[in-house]
């Protein structure tokens, strides 16, 4: 006789573990299946994000920034420490400790909320049955469920011109495990992952070249902010090559010879390490039986409607498995929405206000429409921008690079998008998300009182600048 659950979640990344906790909080008998293991074989919750993604990368970004700041910026504050050294092994140990604390925290939350953690691999069968194969071996079990939530996440995309090799040509996971700083580091992919990992090793002394196949840098971002970001990163030492398509790699001894094509033809560069960071793809291998009835979409995604229901009643898919940006917070909110809808609540996710953040220094963030999108779909718009160079707190902190850009509807003044490159950008963008969720106009943002001196005042001034009312920069003259 099979065990019956109200809700079974397959996958314990940010989408899955949050869905499981919420379902349990709503009174459902809930199980969450996860096969992830730590280096020593212990089970680990949190998926890619906590184990080899968002969290460990931010830990290394913080360590590498502190080294760079100590080495190059503290002297301006009158702090002279002499020769500054770093220890990669200690940085890695700290990174692992942060991961251990957070993944252990999810285990505690599962216990507190009554979620059953099944350590192993789950597979959706027809009739909302779930096959569970324990990680430590033993007999496969079949569970019945009233509702199943697929949250199996994604894996890095591999490309034929650069097959992965242990220690030399690596994906994002391997780039978090270097035991020394490469002299020359190549990064294939100029997106979020490539820029963040490239920044870590650039700060520690690597000569970093980023190959971006597209002809625009950060094509998904507002191009005014993208161009400003590119200038900042190049000044920091990142060699960013756009319209550079890698066509082949060859390992010769301790060197990686990378062949690529750009506007000038075919070229070759030599590196010690190469990171492949060209994106991620949904992970569904062995997770959905062919006769389960779940309709698939293009490129391996699971087809869902606006509230993450699949073609099978009672079966849902969330996070990186479904359309939309592959972002942890987007997946988590989908997990909450699905759990609440199972409970009969009219929950929804507003996909118009999903924020994106690149955790470089300074950070790059955005939410809503870009100026290019407004032009493309014919939306009347107006913009206002404000540089951090005119912000008192940013100047006092030595963080004056970058700017804030606000895009508002040309007729209603409603905020359509906000784009930031600058200090605390990833936190500031939440203010824009809140404003847009409540349908704020640029005038609303301009009339709200912001504390002084804070970097958030740059958002206030950018909103004022939309109609030429900025107070701390010269406003553009309005067209007659």
Q: Do residues 474 and 461 touch, judged by C-beta distance below 8 A?
A: no
Angle of CA points 117, 118, 119, to nearest 5°: 110
In sequence order, the 6+-apart residues with CB closer than 8 A to the CB of 200 are: 57, 60, 61, 64, 175
State the catalytic residue, choosing from 112, 452, 469, 472: 452
Phi/psi of residue 407, each to 5°?
-115, 125
Angle at the Cα of 277 from the Cα atoms of 273 and 278, rounded to 5 degrees:
135
CA distance 418 to 415: 8
Beta-sheet pairing, 315-317 with 356-358: unpaired
Whether the Cβ atoms of residue 399 and residue 446 lie closer than 8 Å to each other: no
Give CA torsion, residues 419, 423, 425, 427, to 10 deg: -150
Instruction: Look at residues 427, 432, 420 and name the one whose alpha carbon lies nearest to residue 225.
Output: 420
Q: Does 452 qualify as catalytic in the annotation?
A: yes
Residue 10 burial (10 A CB sphere; 0-12, 13-18, 19+): buried
From residue 102, alpha-carbon distances to 10, 45, 62, 80, 465 in Å are 20, 9, 17, 35, 42
In 369-441, DSSP assigns E strands to 381-387, 403-409, 415-422
The residues, any chain, with a CB within 8 Å of residue 276's CB and separated by 6 or more, are 156, 157, 158, 159, 162, 164, 169, 170, 171, 188, 189
Give CA–CA dist 11/375, Å, rounded: 40
Burial grade of 175 (CB within 10 A; 0-12, 13-18, 19 or more):
buried
How is residue 334 written in tokens?
């989908």
Answer whether 213's CB lies under 8 Å from 243's CB.
yes
Q: Give the separation between CA 402 and CA 417, rounded to whole angstroms.
A: 17
Asked if 130 and 33 count as a contact pair (C-beta separation under 8 A), the reply is yes
Report how far residue 420's alpha carbon sits from residue 365's, in angstroms, rounded to the nearest whole number: 5
Residues 195 and 281: their CA atoms lie apart, in Å, by 19
The set of residues, in sequence order, having a beta carbon less than 8 Å from that of 317 and lying 6+ positions away, is 149, 150, 151, 294, 302, 304, 308, 310
Give the residue numbers annotated as catalytic, written as ranges. 452
């Amino acid at each position: 006789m099979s065990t019956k659950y109200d809700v079974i979640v397959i996958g314990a990344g940010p989408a899955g573990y949050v869905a499981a906790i919420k379902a349990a909080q709503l009174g459902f008998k809930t199980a969450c299946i996860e096969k992830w293991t730590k280096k020593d074989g212990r089970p680990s919750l949190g998926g890619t994000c906590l184990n080899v993604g968002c969290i460990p990368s931010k830990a290394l970004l913080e360590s590498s920034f502190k080294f760079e700041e100590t080495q190059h910026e503290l002297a301006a504050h009158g702090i002279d420490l002499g020769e500054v050294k770093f220890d990669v092994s200690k940085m890695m140990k700290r990174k692992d400790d942060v991961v251990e604390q957070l993944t252990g925290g999810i285990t505690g939350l599962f216990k507190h909320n009554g979620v059953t953690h099944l350590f192993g691999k789950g597979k959706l069968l027809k009739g909302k049955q779930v096959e569970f194969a324990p990680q430590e071996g033993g007999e496969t079990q079949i569970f019945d469920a009233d509702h199943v939530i697929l949250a199996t996440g994604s894996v890095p995309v591999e490309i034929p011109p650069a097959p992965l090799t242990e220690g030399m040509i690596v994906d994002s996971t391997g780039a978090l495990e270097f035991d020394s700083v490469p002299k020359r580091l190549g990064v294939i992919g100029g997106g979020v992952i490539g820029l963040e990992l490239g920044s870590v090793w650039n700060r520690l002394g690597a000569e970093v070249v980023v190959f971006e196949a597209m002809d625009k840098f950060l094509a998904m971002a507002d191009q005014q902010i993208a161009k400003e970001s590119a200038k900042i990163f190049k000044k920091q030492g990142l060699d960013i090559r756009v319209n550079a398509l890698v066509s082949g790699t060859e390992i010769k001894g301790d060197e990686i010879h990378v062949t690529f094509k750009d506007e000038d033809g075919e070229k070759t560069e030599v590196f010690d390490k190469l990171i492949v960071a060209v994106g991620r793809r949904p992970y569904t291998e062995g997770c959905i039986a062919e006769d389960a009835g779940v309709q698939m979409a293009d490129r391996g995604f699971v087809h869902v409607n606006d509230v993450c229901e699949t073609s099978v009643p009672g079966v849902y898919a969330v996070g990186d498995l479904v359309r939309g940006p592959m972002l942890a917070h987007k997946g988590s909110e989908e997990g909450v929405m699905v759990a609440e809808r199972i409970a009969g609540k009219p929950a929804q996710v507003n996909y118009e206000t999903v924020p994106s953040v690149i955790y470089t220094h300074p950070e790059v963030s955005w939410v809503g429409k870009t100026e290019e999108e407004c032009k493309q779909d014919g939306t009347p718009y107006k913009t206002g921008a404000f540089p951090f160079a005119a912000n008192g707190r940013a100047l006092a902190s030595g963080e004056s690079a970058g700017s804030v850009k606000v895009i508002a509807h040309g007729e209603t003044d409603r905020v359509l998008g906000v784009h930031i490159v600058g200090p605390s950008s990833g936190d500031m963008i939440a203010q824009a998300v809140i404003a847009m969720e409540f349908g704020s106009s640029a005038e609303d943002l301009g009339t709200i009182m912001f504390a002084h001196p804070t970097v958030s005042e740059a958002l206030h001034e950018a909103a004022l600048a939309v109609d030429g009312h900025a107070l701390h920069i010269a406003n553009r003259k309005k067209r007659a």
